[in-house]
Amino acid sequence: MKKTPKQIKDNELLATTYIDEYELIRSLTKESFYIFVQEFWDTIIPEAPVWNWHIEYLCNEAQIVCERMFKGLPKDYDLVVNVSPGSTKSTILSVMLPAWVWTRKQSATIIAGSYTKDLAMDLALKSRDIILSEKYMQVYPFVRMRQDQKAKSEFMNTKRGKRISIGVGGSIIGKHADLIIVDDPLDPQAAVSETSLKTANTWMNDTLSTRKKDKAITPTILIMQRLHQNDPSANMITKAEEHAKLQKKMGMGDGTIMIKHICLPAEITDKLKPKSLKSKYIDGLMDPIRLSREILLGYRAKGGYMYAGQFLQWPVPAGGLMFDTSKIQIMTPPVRHWQKRIRFWDNAATAGGGCFTVGTLMGLDEHDRYWVLDVQRFQLGTAAREEKKKQMALMDGRDVWIGLEQEPGSGGKDQVVNTVKMLAGYRIHVNKVSQDKVVRADPFSVQVNYGNVYMAPGEWNQAYLNELEFFPESTYKDQVDTSSGGFNFLSVKQRVAGVT
């Protein structure tokens, strides 16, 4: 049927209206990732969104990182985000962000990883669904998928931009990225083992770090809930701190750490970063709708350690572990009037790896206050380790006792005998190990928690406090063990002679 002139004019007007609408959406969403998320939310999620403040904040922070990549400028920093489950973190950064990046840089290659390849591909499928949606194709007609490159694990557009999805530990030989996104590299539903921690950290340190088109430009965004003291968040930040210190030492930088750490606990705590976000919390809650107090109480009932890590972003339950390190005062110790002092040793025989040999110097002053005065912590072979003990004995002086642990069996006895011979002339206390580390640490923890333990200032302070704070879940336990041995010696009367 032939259309009338009025019908033709109405259709042209309608088409022009749609064109204008698509152009407006294109203009707004290309300039704002947050508006993109709002505009394309319903292409993959049928439920109505709840626009809590943290969504816009995370969108803006991700855009700041990407803008420099679009312009080919050296990155200012990588991004580490710790936020609770159920906060749309994956939708924002693993699903929406790659689709938005292609609106600005069609040739961008994005490597996206998660703790399993299945999860990584599920997130990729949702991202692909946005790109293939009618709305996206109308708004961005210049972004088109290659018909022969639509696999979930790796798909490509007509400008050779790629999204590559991979599970932790997977190989990505020959692939190089403009942007790397890592979303939950550890399984939050499974117990975190030393093996999974090592696999995730090694993969990020040794594999992903080499998969950048330009190391100076390609940013990494890591988003996860905290699960362990040494999880990939902590590992990535620690590596950046070490790199900054080395650069400053070599005169190649000012010590600036090239990581921005965003930490959004579900309930407001002192771990919140940046601190300026405190004003965003309502009644002490990050998201009073998704993560209401009632909902959080339900999660808390499932376990303090789980709740502290996944929701408070600090895997130490309040009051759930042994040491309240906030009660330890750091101050200058007295120079005289010690009732007793002891440097207590815990051995390790591996040079450059494994556990640490630790010698902790402790004292009891005239006011019956316990002091942690110095910590020597190193990884040396047996001969170098014993020589170090001899040097520290000479430095401490003969009025300081030397504490040694004797492990069960003949090997432990022989080791102690050899050390005692080497340290002839010093007062030595040998402690035969017969109890679990936690049991041995209990008396010391009581004094810490009652505020009767003080600490001399030193570069070793933070590592020492971190180990106490996480104990018995800490990665290493040797500083706690030597402190327990030293305290147990100081807290009881000893015979004044030779070896006790």
As a whole number of angstroms, the distance between CA 262 and CA 236 comes to 13
SS3 state at 495: coil
pLDDT the model gives residue 423: 93
The domain spans of the chain are 32-310, 325-490
Q: What is the model's pLDDT at position 493?
A: 66
pLDDT of residue 23: 92
Q: For residue 4, what pLDDT is reported? A: 57
Structure token pair of residue 452: 């009767």
pLDDT confidence of residue 65: 98
Cα-based distances in Å from 407 to 416, 432, 433, 436, 477 = 9, 6, 6, 12, 15
Residue type, 166: I
Region of 90 (left: φ > 0; alpha: ψ -120 to 50; beta: rest) is: alpha
Pick among 3.30.300, 3.30.70, 3.40.91, 3.40.50: CATH of 32-310: 3.40.50
- With H, G, I as helix, E, B as strand and everything else as coil, classify residue 368: coil
φ/ψ (deg, to 5) at 380: -135, 155
Residue type, position 177, single letter: A
d(CA 271, CA 308): 11
φ, ψ (nearest 5 deg) of residue 322: -85, -35
Topology given in CATH for the domain delimited by 325-490: Nucleotidyltransferase; domain 5 (3.30.420)
Name the nearest CA neighbour of 162 among 101, 204, 73: 101
Residue 25: predicted pLDDT: 94
Which residue has tokens 């924002």? 92
> What is the mean pLDDT of each successive set of 10 residues along the chain, which is 500 residues long?
55 58 93 97 92 98 98 97 95 97 97 94 95 96 85 87 93 91 88 79 92 96 92 93 88 89 96 97 96 92 79 76 89 91 85 78 96 95 92 96 82 81 93 78 89 96 92 87 95 55
The 3-state DSSP class for residue 416 equals helix
Tokens of 44: 């993959």
d(CA 179, CA 64): 13
**Residue 395 backbone dihedrals phi, psi, to 5 degrees:** -70, -40
Residue 470 CB partners (closer than 8 Å, separation 6+): 229, 315, 316, 321
- CB atoms near residue 451 (< 10 Å): 13
Please tell me the predicted confidence (pLDDT) of residue 412. 64
Determine contact, residues 154/163, Cβ cutoff 8 Å. Answer: yes
Q: How is residue 225 written in tokens?
A: 């809930």
Give the per-residue pLDDT at 495: 45
Cut 0.75: pTM above it:
no
Strands (E), 208-287: 220-224, 259-264
